[in-house]
Chain A
Amino acid sequence: MIVAERKPLAEILDMVKECKKILVLACRGCVTVCSAGGEREAEILASLLRLGLKKNGRRAEVIEGSLVRQCDKEYIDAIDQWQGRYDAILSTACGVGVNFIANLRPADHVYPALNTTFLGGSAEQGVWREQCAGCGNCILHLTGGLCPVARCAKSLMNGPCGGSVNGRCEINQEVDCVWQMIYDRMGRLGRLEEMRIASPIRDWSASGHGGPRKQTRGDLTL
């Protein structure tokens, strides 16, 4: 899922300081699962906004709403139900959701309540870890299922680097060296021989360095 976290309140309050009617818009997709921007978090944020704006001597009406997702046109259209009740939308979706609102609602002011942090999963309750960087050319079949693009600080294709010590990354003793993990795992799986093959220099054009990416499935288009 896409993992995100709430921006500092001061930053959010500054964004909406001139707004008189704010719709705090939750997303019931990824950000609900990572407890950053679902209905519960939007309700809390709306309350904090009311308190913060009042403290700063601003008068604004803050209402809450939610969409199934904010990354699909059909759901964005449902914003019509709050027409006239807001002069700005504070979205608690990931950046995709905010972009979708901006793409599809030319007259609406939209602001991000979250920092979208990474593609990851819940490692344990209350802890999320980055697992994939959406590089567009997956190599997990070569690395035993562990991603060096997202999980190696240098995104090395032939690791580990000389900074790997006792299974830890040189950037931080708390961070596992994913290349050590890859070697250990490939060894356990009896695939260590494959590690002798050096990966060629990688073409990163699929990873976004070639501009914004788009994909089309002819069998699905109307």
Chain B
Amino acid sequence: MNFTPDIRLFSCHYTSQQSCTEAGNELQQLGFPENIRICRVPCTGKLQEITLLKAFEDGADGVYVVGCPADACHNIKGSQRAAKRVAAVKQALVELAVEPERVAMYHLDRGLHPEFINIAREMNERIRRLGPSPF
């Protein structure tokens, strides 16, 4: 299927900080999929369930969150809170009989690492396989 998924990434300022350097094209050069829209938040702990759900309402096929390592969050528990909200949305998707893999949480060290690109590709591939959102 020729399908380019609409994917939304909510990433904490620290984890994605180098993705927003002045020139701003470093990510593309590293192969970050262009169909993933990044929304940078001061801390993923600030993300509410509703923010993730609204992304689906807005047409996202997949939504994921990247925050600090669970035990090394800049704001101590921010990324742990985010993981719980993602889990709640996952549960809601299950209740709606929608693939829970359409939402995901990742914990990464701060700064721009190859892993940041790798999980973007992984998410992109996963959502491409799942096909368009049923919403």
Binding site for B on A (CB under 8 A): 8-10, 40, 43-44, 47-48, 50-52, 54-55
A54: nearest chain-B partner, CB-CB: B135
Contact indicator A9/B57 (Cβ below 8 Å): no
Choose among A9, A40, A43, A54 the residue that contacts B92 (Cβ–Cβ < 8 A): A9
Stretch at the interface among B3-11, B13-21, B48-56: B48-56
Interface residues on chain B, number (Cβ under 8 Å): 14
Choose among A9, A40, A44, A54 the residue that contacts B95 (Cβ–Cβ < 8 A): A9
User: Inside 8 A of B54's CB, which chain A residues have their CB?
Assistant: 47
A12: nearest chain-B partner, CB-CB: B95
CA gap between A190 and B53 in the complex, in Å:
56
Q: List 15 A-B contacts (CB under 8 A).
A: A8-B95, A9-B92, A9-B95, A9-B96, A10-B95, A44-B49, A47-B53, A48-B53, A51-B53, A51-B56, A51-B57, A52-B96, A54-B135, A55-B97, A55-B98
Least CB distance from A38 to B in Å reads 13
Contact indicator A47/B57 (Cβ below 8 Å): yes
User: Inside 8 A of A44's CB, which chain B residues have their CB?
Assistant: 49-50, 53
Q: Which of B82-100 contact A (CB under 8 A)?
A: 92, 95-98
Contact with A along B64-83 (1 / 0, CB 8 A): 00000000000000000000
> Is B134's beta carbon under 8 Å from chain A?
yes
Contact indicator B92/A48 (Cβ below 8 Å): yes
The 9 tightest CB contacts between A and B, nearest first, are A9-B95, A47-B53, A55-B134, A51-B135, A52-B96, A54-B135, A43-B50, A44-B49, A44-B50
CA gap between A26 and B49 in the complex, in Å:
17
Least CB distance from B58 to A in Å reads 11
B88: nearest chain-A partner, CB-CB: A44
User: Inside 8 A of B134's CB, which chain A residues have their CB?
Assistant: 55
A10: nearest chain-B partner, CB-CB: B95
Contact with A along B17-54 (1 / 0, CB 8 A): 00000000000000000000000000000001110011
Contact indicator B57/A50 (Cβ below 8 Å): yes
Least CB distance from A206 to B in Å reads 40
Least CB distance from A63 to B in Å reads 14
Choose among B48, B96, B97 the residue that contacts A48 (Cβ–Cβ < 8 A): B96
User: Inside 8 A of A40's CB, which chain B residues have their CB?
Assistant: 48, 50
User: Inside 8 A of A9's CB, which chain B residues have their CB?
Assistant: 92, 95-96
Contact with A along B122-135 (1 / 0, CB 8 A): 00000000000011
User: Inside 8 A of B48's CB, which chain A residues have their CB?
Assistant: 40
CA gap between A40 and B85 in the complex, in Å:
13
Least CB distance from A123 to B in Å reads 19
Contact indicator B53/A55 (Cβ below 8 Å): no
* 19 more CB-based (< 8 A) A-B contacts, given A44-B49, A47-B53, A51-B57: A8-B95, A9-B92, A9-B95, A9-B96, A40-B48, A40-B50, A44-B50, A47-B54, A48-B53, A48-B92, A50-B57, A51-B53, A51-B56, A51-B96, A51-B135, A52-B96, A54-B135, A55-B134, A55-B135
Least CB distance from B83 to A in Å reads 14
User: Inside 8 A of B53's CB, which chain A residues have their CB?
Assistant: 44, 47-48, 51
